[in-house]
Amino acid sequence: MTDRYAVVWTHTDTTPIKMGNLVATDREMRFSYTTEFLEHQDISGLSLLLPPTLWQTRPFIHAATEILPLLPRLMALIPGKNSNNIQRRIHTSLLAKLPRPPAPGFETEWELLMMTGHNGIGHIDVFRDDREATAFYATKPEPKHRVGSRSAFWNFLKDETSQEFSNAALDIVRLIGPTPSVGGQIPKLLVAIPDKKKWDGTIAEPGTRDIDGAAYTDVVMKVDDAQYRGLAALEDLCLDVHQELGFEVPRHWRASIDDLAVLAIERFDRTKNNLPIPMESFFSVYATGQQQVRTTTDAELEQVGAMLVKLSEIADINPDHAGLEVYRRLVMALLTGNGDLHLENLAFLGGPKNIRVAPVFDPAPMRAWDRHDLLSALPFYIDDKHGLRHSLVKLGEAFGVNNKNATEILQNFMDATKNYSERVVALSEVPDETRQKLAARVKALRTRLIK
């Protein structure tokens, strides 16, 4: 493989700025900050673990592995490898139309990063070179496009199996702009929707703030797919439940468009003026510099608690606040049948002076499906002799939550979610079998948690 070069840019409050240079070989990835970037003390760097103030111009070296040829933070900008990932399908279709399409494997991944690595979640923008970067930022905001709820776009989204898109379909994709990438299992796109109470399915390019005097806001838009029928309704319920309990939850909207169930969740990684707010997943922080960590479930929960303490030594994060927040999420994940609270479903937001745990996202109750029927995506020590309740309270210690407080949190959340199973069963859009399985699993769990 020949060496590959790229540049990383980001945005200050007023202007785009080059963060650093990147080179990837088949053995390693190297990154170094530019001196220009180092003069700004107020912008987050490539990762919370690589603070520019400490790192300075030293090159950071990441040893390439099959799964993580690049730093986890950059891998997060490449569309996920599962077959129903809509962005991967779109962008590999576009690559296949090139005169010399890239070979499968790293060559393709790299080209995908060049296409999807900017204007995505968070504040890291990757480009082939500085010219491409400046051209990207110089693009004047064009008249924004709007896609109505009756558009061919929705038919295109319904076509879940196609790996080869027609030119007409690709034109639709161009219409909504260069779709930045979002990881994960569920088909989704980053778009803007009208900032109103009710949503009729109208969408526009991400970053749109206004069309004909109507305000728009950026969202992550998730589309129900055949594998997980009913997920949009279930995730919507779980967002509501978290909100009722005082968690910070983004605004969210449901719509049903041409029989397609859709959930839109307001993005918290953008300011009102469309400036990026840094966001980095727990996985990126945990896996950076730890070669044995390869997947988003390669950690025990107790180690996640230890990571928060370690991180607070080099980043401006309060480990007690972060620990308490993560512990509360864990308890809720158990009580709602989430089973999927892995390291990519928790993130850090903001920086470098005010880093905190990001608001709730992806609280979907995945235990409704047999293949995700896990008590917890990340393992923790369960003391069989003393039972689950005792073990969960003990787990609090790893997050700085003493036994008394942990018991109180558990009891409060148990009380507040008493009718959760009934609310699940009442969701008529969710297939009956799915509702019944989730309700039964949640009830069984609750009996294990009763004093």
Count of beta carbons in the 10 Å neighbourhood of residue 35: 9
- Determine if 183 is a binding residue for ligand ATP (CB under 6 A): yes
The phi, psi pair for 119, rounded to 5°, reads: 65, 25
Choosing from 22, 172, 186, 307, the residue that interacts with ligand ATP (CB under 6 A) is 186
> Which one, 379 or 387, has the nearer CB to ligand ATP?
379
Choosing from 102, 184, 207, 387, the residue that interacts with ligand ATP (CB under 6 A) is 184
Helix axes 319-336 and 231-244, enclosed angle (nearest 10): 130
- Determine if 268 is a binding residue for ligand ATP (CB under 6 A): yes
State the binding partner of 125 from ligand ATP, Mg ion, none, CB within 5 to 8 A by kind: none
State the binding partner of 78 from Mg ion, ligand ATP, none, CB within 5 to 8 A by kind: none
State in angstroms the smallest separation of the CB of 381 from ligand ATP.
Answer: 24
- Determine if 344 is a binding residue for ligand ATP (CB under 6 A): yes
State the binding partner of 300 from ligand ATP, Mg ion, none, CB within 5 to 8 A by kind: none
Count of beta carbons in the 10 Å neighbourhood of residue 310: 15
Q: Kindly state the number of chain residues that form the binding site for ligand ATP, as judged by CB under 6 A.
A: 20
- Determine if 281 is a binding residue for Mg ion (CB under 5 A): no
CA dist 125 and 46 (Å) reads: 10
Token couple for 112: 């995908």
State the binding partner of 340 from Mg ion, ligand ATP, none, CB within 5 to 8 A by kind: ligand ATP
State in angstroms the smallest separation of the CB of 401 from Mg ion.
Answer: 24
Q: Kindly state the number of chain residues that form the binding site for Mg ion, as judged by CB under 5 A.
A: 3
- 400 to 219, 306, 386: CA distances (angstroms): 33, 10, 21
Instruction: Look up residue 146 and give its DSSP letter.
Output: E
- Determine if 438 is a binding residue for ligand ATP (CB under 6 A): no
- Determine if 236 is a binding residue for ligand ATP (CB under 6 A): no
Count of beta carbons in the 10 Å neighbourhood of residue 83: 10
3 state DSSP class of 147: strand
State in angstroms the smallest separation of the CB of 355 from ligand ATP.
Answer: 15
Indicate the helix (H) or strand (E) that contains 62: strand 60-63
Helix, strand, coil % over all residues of the chain, rounded to 5: 40, 15, 45
> Which one, 111 or 340, has the nearer CB to ligand ATP?
340
Stretch that binds ligand ATP, among 260-268, 374-382, 420-428, 435-443 (CB under 6 A): 260-268
The sign one gets for the Cα dihedral 224, 229, 231, 237 is positive
Stretch that binds Mg ion, among 214-222, 320-328, 361-369, 439-447 (CB under 5 A): 361-369
In the complex, residue closest to ligand ATP by CB: 184
Stretch that binds ligand ATP, among 8-16, 192-200, 262-270, 306-314 (CB under 6 A): 262-270
Choosing from 257, 265, 287, 377, the residue that interacts with ligand ATP (CB under 6 A) is 265
**Is the omega angle on the peptide bond into residue 352 within 30 degrees of 0, that is, cis?**
yes
Choosing from 202, 297, 345, 421, the residue that interacts with ligand ATP (CB under 6 A) is 345
Q: Which of 272, 271, 301 lies closest to 286, judged by CA? A: 301
What is the residue type of 444? A
CA dist 39 and 18 (Å) reads: 11
State the binding partner of 301 from Mg ion, ligand ATP, none, CB within 5 to 8 A by kind: none
Q: Are strands 203-204 and 146-147 parallel, antiparallel or unpaired?
A: antiparallel
- Determine if 217 is a binding residue for Mg ion (CB under 5 A): no
Q: Which of residues 157-186 bind Mg ion (CB under 5 A)?
A: 184
Q: Which of 137, 199, 109 lies closest to 10, judged by CA? A: 137
- Determine if 362 is a binding residue for Mg ion (CB under 5 A): yes
Instruction: Look up residue 323 and give its DSSP letter.
Output: H
Stretch that binds Mg ion, among 158-166, 313-321, 339-347, 422-430 (CB under 5 A): 339-347
- Could you tell me which residues come within 8 angstroms of residue 252 by beta carbon, excluding any fewer than 6 positions away? 236, 239, 263, 264, 265, 266
Given a contact cutoff of 8 angstroms between Cβ atoms, the answer to whether 47 and 71 are in contact is yes
State in angstroms the smallest separation of the CB of 31 from Mg ion.
Answer: 25
Q: Which of 239, 153, 238, 230 lies closest to 191, judged by CA? A: 153
- Determine if 225 is a binding residue for ligand ATP (CB under 6 A): no
Cα angle for residues 435, 440, 443 (degrees, 5° grid): 125
- Determine if 250 is a binding residue for Mg ion (CB under 5 A): no
CA dist 28 and 222 (Å) reads: 34
End-to-end alpha carbon distance in the chain: 60
State the binding partner of 116 from ligand ATP, Mg ion, none, CB within 5 to 8 A by kind: none
- Determine if 361 is a binding residue for ligand ATP (CB under 6 A): yes
- Determine if 269 is a binding residue for Mg ion (CB under 5 A): no
Chain length of the chain: 451
> Which one, 76 or 393, has the nearer CB to ligand ATP?
76
State the binding partner of 265 from ligand ATP, Mg ion, none, CB within 5 to 8 A by kind: ligand ATP
Residues lying near Mg ion in the complex (CB under 5 A): 184, 345, 362
Residues lying near ligand ATP in the complex (CB under 6 A): 121, 182-186, 188, 220, 250, 265-269, 340, 344-345, 347, 361-362
